[in-house]
Amino acid sequence: MSIETLAIVEPGSNLAFTSELGLNKLNAGTDFSTWFENQISELNTQINNSENEVRKLATGETNNIHHVMLSLEKAKLSFDLLLQVRSKALDAYQDIMKMQL
């Protein structure tokens, strides 16, 4: 078993955040609204794919319930993640609006 060292993050470094919703990168130059719109469209695609898997299971086109349940759970977790990001962004906006200048 090997232990790898952790990289030191310098202040102001250009970090890339990856998401489970398609591995998009949020760089310093990327607009948050653009990133959020991309995540919503990818989430919509995931939900549609999950619904298609359920339809296939119901019509007998597939009998792999494990794959269907994984697809549904992945879409649910992605939705929960996006909902939490939205909630945190709204909380931050409300905190900023409460600040006195």
Domain count, the chain: 1
Cα–Cα distance between 24 and 26 in angstroms, integer? Answer: 7
Summarize the confidence of residues 59-82 as an average pLDDT: 93
State residue 79's pLDDT score.
94
What pairing do the DSSP bridges indicate for beta strands 17-18 and 25-26?
A: antiparallel
Residue 6 falls inside a structural domain = no
Domain holding 69, by residue range, is: 17-98
pLDDT digits (tens, 9 = 90+) for 32-66: 889 889 999 999 999 999 999 999 999 999 888 99
Task: State pLDDT tens for residues 3-28.
Answer: 555 555 555 555 444 444 444 454 55
Angle at the Cα of 36 from the Cα atoms of 54 and 6, rounded to 5 degrees:
95
pLDDT value of residue 100:
84
- Tell me the pTM: 0.64
pLDDT band at 84 (very low <50, low <70, confident <90, very high): very high
Burial zone of 21 (CB within 10 Å; 0-12 exposed, 13-18 middle, 19+ buried): buried
Q: What would you report as the CA-atom Rg of the chain, rounded to the nearest whole angstrom?
A: 19
Tell me whether residue 12 is in a domain: no
pLDDT of residue 32: 84
**CB 22, CB 40: distance < 8 Å:** no
Q: Are 81 and 72 in contact (CB under 8 A)?
A: no
